[in-house]
Structure 1
Amino acid sequence: MQQPGGPGQGTGPDQLDSSVAALVRDAGASVALVYLLPPGERVLQLAVVSGVSRRIAAPWARIAVEAPIPVAEAVRERHQVWLGSQEEVARRYPQLGLVLPYDFMLAATPITSGTTVWGGVVLLWPIRHSPQLSSLEREAIAAFCRRTGLLLRQGADSGHPVLPAPEPRVLAPPRSRSPERAEALAAVDFAERLPLGCCALDLDGRITFITATAADLVGAGAVTLTGARPWEVLLWLQDPVFEDRYREAVVSRRPTSFTALRPPDDWLFFELYPDASGISVHITPIPSGHAPTTAPWEQPARSAEPVGATALYHLTHLAATLTEAVGVQDVVDLVADQIVPAFGAQALALMTPEDGRLRIIGYRGYPAELMRRFDAEPLTTDTPAVRVLNTGVPSFYSTFADLKRAYPPAVHQDDKAAWAFLPLIASGRGVGSLVLAYDRTRPFPPAERAILSSLAGLLAQALDRARLYDTKHQLAHTLQAGLLPQTLPRVSGLEVAARYLPAGHGMDVGGDFYDLIRCDESTAAAAIGDVQGHNVTAAALMGQVRTAVHAHGTAGAFPGEVLARTNRLLTDLDPGLFTSCLYVHLDLARHRARLATAGHPPPLLRHPDGRTEVLRLPPGLLLGIEPDADYPTAEIPLPPGTVLALYTDGLVETPGTDIDDSIAHLARQLALARDQTMDALADTLIAHATKSAPRHDDIALLLIRACADSETP
C-alpha cells in the first residue's frame, strides 16, 4: 500500500508511524492510540499503539462512533476532549473510569481534513502533568492531526487509502541512546552487586532482565523467567492484584508497590518504577516479624490456575460496554468487536434459536461462505453448537482430535485448532450459543473455562434484554407508523415527497407527523407537527392531532382557523403535552399559499430561480397551552417551480449547534439541489443532516413543489 509522494517518503503506514513517534516526543505523552475511521463505517479502528502493549489496548481496538468514549466524542463532535483527573474521567465517562481506575490525564482529538473526519488520536500523560495542555503541546497535537488528515486525504484521493490492519501496529519504545557493550556489562555488574533483587519488564509485562539475587528471591531460574510474565510462571504471583499493579504502572506512569507471600513464609516487597520503555522492579525481602499477617487481597482457597487480571480486566470492560447495548445488533457488534481481540480467540460465531433452527446472527474471523454453510441448523441435529444450547453445558476441545472423538461425523472445515462452545443461558432459558475458535491448540484450564462461562452469562443477559427491547421497539414503531399516512394523495399541480425517520436510539417513539390533504379540485393543504415527548402517549396524541387537523382542513378551514380549532380540542383534552404545528393552505388556481404556525420551525421556500429563504411567519403559541390563542395567517406567492420544505426539529437540532445556523445550512442544501426530483431531494436533505452526527429525535420532512399542469407527475 504505497502512499503517493516522492522517493523516500515511504508508505502511508510508515509515515503514520513516524508521525506518531514524533507526536509522543513533542507532546511529552506517555501513551498514544491512533484510530482510523474507514470510509462509510461508524466504527473507529485502532491502527497504531505507542506506550502500552497490544494486550492492554485490546478492549479499545474497535469503538463505535456513538459510544460514550472520549475519542468517539471527539470524532462525533469534532472537538478536543481533555480529561485532567481520574475523578473527571469517572464523572464524564463512568465506563472508562470503571475499567481504567488509574491516575492519568487524557486528550482525544479528531483527525480531519476539510469537512471529512478520518479518525482520532488519544494521548495519555502521567498525573504529574500540569492541569492543562501547554501551547506547545496543543500545537504538536494540532500539527499531527493536520499532517495525518492530509496524509489520509491524499491516500484516499489516489486510490491507495491508509486503512487499519487487522491488528494495530505497536511502536517500539523510544531509546535516548544506544549504550556501548562495555556500558551494558558495567550496568549488569552494578545490578548484580546490589543486595536487593532487580529485574526489568517491558511494556507487555515480560521480564527482559533479572539479577541472580532476584531470581533466588522469587525461587525460579533466570532462564525460566526471562521472556515470561512473572504472574504466568510464578503461581504465588497469580493473584489478579499483582498483575493490576503492573497495569497501573504502565497506564499511569507512576511508581507503585505491593507485598506478596512466597510460600511457605517468605514475604517480599515489590516496587515498580515505570517509564516509556518499560518498568524497573526492586524486590526486597521483609524481615521476619515485620511481615503482614494477612494480605487484603489474599483468598482463603485459590485455584492453582487463578484468573489473571487481564481476563478480569477484559470481562469488566465487556460488562460495562454491554450496559450500553440496546438492540440485538448492538450486542452482536460489541461481541464481535470486543471478544476476538480481548479473549485470545481468532474467530467467533454467535447463534440464536429461531423457528426450530439455530441462526447465525453475527460472526468475526470466519469466511462468509463457511457461515452460510452452518447457518440455520435444525435444533434436532447433534452438533456441538446445538448440543450446548439444549443441555446448557459448555464444551471445550483442545484439538480437532478431541472434537472428532465427541462428534465422529465432524469434518474439519475451518483452519482452527481449538474450540469453545458456550451456551447462552438467561433466566434458565437457552437464548443462544457462542463459538470461539483458536488458531493453536489450547488446554482450556479450569480458570479459563470459568471466565469464558462468565462471559457467556453476561452475553446471554444482554442478548435477552436486547431481544425484548427489539420486540417492544418494533411494536411501538408499528403503532406510530400506523398513525402516519401510508401514502400521500396525488394532487394535480403538485409534486410531493415525505420522509419519516425514528430516533436512532431509545425505545420510546415520538410524536412527529405530516399530512397532505386534497380539499377540492383547485386547493390542497399540508401539515407537519411534533407532539412533545417520546413515548406511546405522545404517539397516541399525535394521532388525535393529525386527525383533527385533517378533518378541519378537509372542511375547507383556513390555516389560522385550523390551528385555533385544534388548539381548543387539545386544551379540552388536557393531555399535559404541547404540540407544534405548521399548516399550509395551497391555492393551486391562483398560485398562492397561506401559512400559519403554532411554535413550529420555519418552513423553507425555494423560488423558481433557485433563491432560497427561511420564511419567518407571524408567531403562534404551541397547541394545548391557551384555549383562546390566535394564530395569524401569512400569504405568499407559489408560482410553478417553487419548492416548499416543511420539517420537524429533529432534522436541524444537533448538540452544540445553534438551531438558526442549522436551519440556514439546510436552506443552503435545498438551494444547491435544484435539479433533483422531490424524492431524490428528500433523500439528499436527510442524508446530509444525519451523516455529521447521530440524531436523538424523530425526523419528519414534507417537500412540496408547485408544477405547471403539464408537469404534474
Structure 2
Amino acid sequence: MSRPPEELADDVFSAHPSVFEAVFAHSPCAMAALDSSFRIVSANPALAELTGQSLDNCAGKLLPDIVGFLPASVLEAYQQALREGTSQRDLTFQVGQSPQHLFTTTAIPFGGTDSGSTGLIVMLGPAPGGPGRSGGSSERLASLSAALALALTEGDVSRVILEHVGPLLGAYGGALIQVLDEQALYMVGSFGYPSSIEDTWRQFPGDPGYPVVQAIRDRQPVFATVEELPERFPAIVPLLQPHTRAVAALPLIAEDRVLSALTLSFQDEHAIGAEDQGLLLEVARLCAGAMNRARRYDTEHQARERAGVLADASSLLSASLDVRKTLERITALAIEHVADWCSVYQPDETGRMWPVVVAHEDPQKVELLRSFLNRFPLIRRSTGPVPGLCTRANR
C-alpha cells in the first residue's frame, strides 16, 4: 500500500544530512537555505551560476541582493511561508518588461516554532516550458531546427525564420534582409512592425548607419542598446519604435558568404546581454545552414525544371505542322513555367510587328493584354529571326 506524500516527505527530510546535502549540491535547480531575514545560510552551485556569484560570496548575503530580480510579490509569498509554515510552490514571475524572462520559485519552510518557521529552502529557475533567459533553450532550438528541416525552398525557410525566431528569442519585431551584394539589400519580410515599414524598406539602403548593414559588411553580429544607438548608428534612431530598448543584427553566413541577415528589436535590453548572445548566434547558425541548403535545392530544382521545359518545347515544335497551334502551345508552356504573360510577334508588309498569339496566366486578361499590345506595335529594325516576347512579373 502506498504511503501519503506527507509521510514520504518527512522521511526525506529526516534522512541523514549527507543525503540532503548531495541533492542540494547536485540539483540543476538553483537552491538556497535562508534564515528568517532571507539571509543565505547555504547555496548550491546552480544558484551561483544563475546569479553570476561565487558560492563564498553568496554566503551571509540577503537573497534579494544576490539575485537582484525578485519582485515584491515573491518576497511577500516568502514571508507568508515563514509565518504560516506552509510551502509556496511554483510562483511564476516576470523579470523586467519582457515575457522572454519568466522565472518560477518555490519556498519550503523548516524549523517550525510557535511564532513561525525559522528558515526557508528556496528554489529558483526559468519557468518550465516557458521562454526563460537560459532555460528551455535546447527545446526551443530543437523546435526551430525541426521546422527548418521541413522547409525545402528558400521561401519556405524565410517563412519559418519570420514565424519562429521572434517568439524563440523574445523579439517583438524583426526583418529578414536578403543580400545580393553590399549595395543591393532587399527586405524579404518582417514581423511585429507596422506594414508601412515593410512597404517603405522593401529595397533596403546600404547605409552603414544601420546595424544590419554593418553586420553584413563586417560579417559580425551587432548588439546595441537604445542608449548606444545615437552614437553608433544614428540613421536608425528616427525609425525606432517607442518601446524599443535594444536591437540585434545577425548575418547569416554559410560557405564564407553572407546569404541574408536578421535584424531584431527587443523591449528588454537584457535580451542581448552576454548570457543570451550565445542563443542568438546559435539561431543565426541554424538559419544560415537551412537557407544555404534551400538555395542549393532551388538551384537544382530550377535546373531540372528548365531542362524539362526545353524538352517539352522541343516536342511541341516537332509535333505539328500547324504554326499557329504550335505557337499557342509554346506560349501556354511559357506561362506555366516561365512568365506571367507571353506574346509572339510577326511582321506585316510595312515591317511593323504585331502580336499573333497572346497568352496570360489569367484567361480573363488575354483580350485586355492583346488590346494593349496592339496599341503599341513593335518596329522591326533587322532582317533577323521574328522575335517572340515573354515578360515576367511577380515570380
TM-score, normalised on structure 1?
0.29
In the other structure, the counterpart of 1:317 is 143
Q: 1:357 — aligned with what?
A: 184
Q: Which residue of 1 aligns with 2:165?
A: 339
| 1:106-158 deviation line (CA, Å, top 9, x unaligned) | xxxxxxxxxxxxxxxxxxxxxxxxxxxxxxxxxxxxxxxxxxxxxxxxxxxxx
Q: Secondary structure at the match of 1:366?
A: coil
Deviation at 1:340, TM superposition (A): 1.6
Q: 1:685-696 residue pairs with structure 2 within 5 A?
A: none
8 Å CA contact 2:81, 2:109 repeated in 1:
no
Distance apart, 1:209 and its partner CA: 6.6
2:85 match: secondary structure: helix
Describe the superposition over 1:77-118 as per-residue Cα deviations: whole angstroms up to 9, x where unpaired. xxxxxxxxxxxxxxxxxxxxxxxxxxxxxxxxxxxxxxxxxx
- Quote the offset at 1:433 in angstroms: 1.2
The residue identity in structure 1 corresponding to 2:88 is C
Deviation at 1:207, TM superposition (A): 4.7
- Equivalent residue number for residue 281 of structure 2: 453
| Cα pair 1:431 1:464 within 8 Å, conserved | yes
Aligned match of 2:88: 199
- State the match for 1:389 in structure 2: 216
**Equivalent-residue separation in structure 2 for 1:500 and 1:411 (angstroms):** 47
**Which amino acid is the alignment partner of residue 364 of structure 1?**
F
Instruction: State the alpha-carbon separation in 2 of the partners of residues 389 and 405 from structure 1.
Output: 19
Alpha-carbon distance in 1 for matches of 2:216, 2:118: 48
Give the Cα separation in 2 of the matches to 1:380 and 1:337: 27
**What SS does structure 2 have at the residue aligned with 1:458?**
helix
Q: Give how far 1:307 is off.
A: 6.3
Instruction: State the Cα distance separating 1:429 from its structure 2 match.
Output: 2.2
SS of residue in 2 equivalent to 1:342: helix
- C-alpha separation between the residues in 2 aligned to 1:188 and 1:501? 73
Distance 1:502 1:199 in 2: 66
Find the partner of 1:231 among 121, 125, 129.
Answer: 125
Amino acid at match of 1:341: P
Task: List alignment gaps of at least 5 residues for structure 1.
Answer: 1-186, 220-224, 233-242, 251-305, 504-677, 681-713
- Hey, what's the Cα distance between the residues in 1 that align with 2:83 and 2:230? 57
Quick one: which of 210, 213, 219 aligns to 2:107?
210
1:435 aligns with 2:332: no
Amino acid at match of 1:385: V
Instruction: State the Cα distance separating 1:441 from its structure 2 match.
Output: 3.9
TM-score, L = length of structure 2: 0.50
Q: Aligned to 1:420, what secondary structure does the other structure show?
A: strand
Question: What is the CA–CA distance in structure 1 between the aligned matches of 2:296 and 2:90, rounded to whole Å?
Answer: 48
Q: Distance in 2 between matches of 1:481 and 1:430?
A: 32
Matches within 5 A, 1:498-509: none
Tell me how far 1:334 sits from its aligned partner.
Answer: 0.3
Partner residue, 1:398: 225
RMSD (Å), alpha carbons: 4.1
- Contact 1:352 / 1:360 at 8 angstroms: preserved in 2? yes
What letter is aligned with 2:303? Answer: L
How far apart are residue 369 of structure 1 and its match? 2.4
Structure 2 residue identity aligned to 1:432: S
What does residue range 162-561 of structure 1 map to in structure 2 within 5 Å? Answer: 192=85, 198-201=87-90, 207=104, 210-213=107-110, 216-218=119-121, 230-232=124-126, 246-247=128-129, 308-355=134-181, 356-377=183-204, 379=206, 381-399=208-226, 401-415=227-241, 416-442=244-270, 444-485=272-313, 490=324
Contact 1:398–1:443 (8 Å) recurs in 2: no
Amino acid at match of 2:85: E
Distance 2:186 2:282 in 1: 23
Taking the aligned partners of 1:440 and 1:374, their CA distance within structure 2 comes to: 25
Q: Which moved more, 1:465-474 or 1:448-457?
A: 465-474
Give, as a single letter, the amino acid of the residue that structure 2 aligns with 1:192. G
Cα distance change on mapping 1:373 and 1:442 into 2, 3 Å: farther
Kindly provide the amino acid, as one letter, of the partner of residue 315 in structure 1: L
Question: Given the superposition, is the C-alpha separation of residues 203 and 402 from structure 1 closer, same or farther in structure 2, using an over 3 Å criterion?
Answer: closer
C-alpha distance in 2, partners of 1:207/1:309? 11
Whole-Å Cα distance in 2 between the matches of residues 326 and 188 of structure 1? 54
User: What is the deviation of 1:444?
Assistant: 2.1
What SS does structure 2 have at the residue aligned with 1:308? Answer: coil
Compare 376-385 and 338-347 and name the one that shifted more.
Answer: 376-385
Q: Which amino acid aligns with 1:340?
A: G
CA distance in 1, matches of 2:253, 2:134: 25
CA contact (8 A) 1:191 1:211 kept: no
Q: Structure 2 vs 1, CA of residues 208 and 359 (structure 1 numbering), >3 Å: closer, same or farther?
A: same
The amino acid across from 2:155 in the alignment is Q
Q: In structure 2, what residue type is equivalent to 1:435?
A: T
Kept in 1, the 8 Å contact 2:175–2:191? The answer is yes
- State whether residues 350 and 432 of structure 1, in contact with CA within 8 Å, keep that contact through their aligned partners in structure 2: yes
Seen in structure 2, the aligned counterparts of structure 1 residues 342 and 379 have a Cα distance that, compared at 3 Å, is same
Cα distance between partner residues in 1 of 2:278 and 2:172: 19
Provide the rounded CA distance (Å) in 1 between the counterparts of 2:302 and 2:237: 40
Following the alignment from structure 1 to structure 2, what is the Cα–Cα distance between the partners of residues 311 and 432? 23
How far apart in 2 are the matches of 1:326 and 1:318? 14
Contact 1:423–1:456 (CA under 8 A) maintained in structure 2: yes
Would you say the 8 A contact 1:199–1:207 is kept in 2? no
In 2, the alpha carbon distance for the partners of 1:307 and 1:368 equals 29
The question of whether the paired residues in 2 share the 8 Å contact of 1:311 and 1:343 is answered with no
For residues 251 and 118 of structure 2, what CA distance do their matches in structure 1 show? Answer: 43
Q: How far has the Cα of 1:501 moved from its partner?
A: 11
Classify the secondary structure of the residue corresponding to 1:484. Answer: helix
Amino acid in the other structure paired with 1:365: G
Deviation at 1:498, TM superposition (A): 6.8
Question: What one-letter code is carried by the residue in structure 1 that aligns with 2:223?
Answer: F
The structural deviation recorded for 1:316 is: 1.6
**Partner SS, residue 421 of structure 1:** strand
Change (3 A) 1:190 1:386: closer
User: What secondary structure sits across from 1:231 in the alignment?
Assistant: strand
Partner amino acid, structure 2, of 1:412:
P
Question: What is the CA deviation profile of residues 503-531 of structure 1, one whole-angstrom value per residue up to 9, with x for unaligned ones?
Answer: 9xxxxxxxxxxxxxxxxxxxxxxxxxxxx
| 3-state SS of paired residue (2:136) | helix
Alpha carbons 1:199, 1:210 under 8 Å: kept: yes
Kindly state the Cα deviation for residue 422 of structure 1 after the two structures are TM-superposed: 1.0
Query: Unpaired segments of 5 or more residues in structure 2?
Result: 1-79, 94-101, 111-116, 338-361, 365-395
Aligned letter for 1:354?
L
The amino acid of 2:125's aligned partner reads W
Rounded to whole Å, the distance in 2 between the matches of 1:367 and 1:433 is: 20
C-alpha contact 2:103 2:125 (8 A) present in aligned 1: no
Contact 1:419 / 1:436 at 8 angstroms: preserved in 2?
yes
Amino acid at match of 2:280: L
CA separation of 1:336 and 1:409: change in aligned 2, threshold 3 A:
closer
Instruction: Give 1:87-98 correspondences, 5 Å limit.
Output: none
Structure 2 CA distance for partners of 1:207 and 1:409, relative to 1, 3 Å: closer
Q: Do the aligned partners of residues 348 and 207 (structure 1) sit closer, same or farther apart at CA in structure 2, a change above 3 Å counting? A: closer
